């Protein structure tokens, strides 16, 4: 199912995960902002949920590749 992950180099997934977790650096990374919204119960707009998922995709792929 995830055979394409075998073709993606580790360094590329690590770089993409770090970049997406830290983007944008100022004023606050989106992942941190969305996790705070999730904790406070204010993560309700579909765009915010998509944004959180979008920023976590490389990390999720990295975890899947590592578990595989």
Kindly list the averaged pLDDT for each block of 10 residues, start to end, along the chain of length 68. 85 93 86 91 91 92 90
60 inside domain: yes
Structural domain includes residue 62: yes
Q: Model pTM? A: 0.82
**Domain assignment of residue 28, given as a range:** 19-67
Number of domains in the chain: 1
For residue 34, what are the contacts with CB-CB under 8 A and spacing of at least 6? 43, 48, 51, 52, 55
Torsion of CA 42, 43, 44, 49, to 10 degrees: 170
Output the pLDDT for position 11. Answer: 93
**Distance in angstroms (rounded) separating the CA atoms of residues 40 and 4:** 37
Distance CA 38, CA 16 (A): 23
| Burial environment of residue 23 by CB neighbours within 10 A (0 to 12, 13 to 18, 19 or more) | exposed
The answer to whether position 25 is within a domain reads: yes
């Amino acid at each position: 199912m995830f055979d394409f992950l075998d073709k993606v180099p580790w360094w590329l997934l690590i770089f993409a995960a770090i970049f997406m977790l830290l983007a944008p650096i100022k004023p606050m990374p989106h992942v941190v902002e969305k996790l705070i919204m999730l904790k406070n119960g204010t993560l309700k707009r579909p765009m915010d949920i998509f944004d959180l998922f979008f920023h976590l995709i490389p990390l999720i792929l990295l975890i899947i590749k590592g578990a595989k």
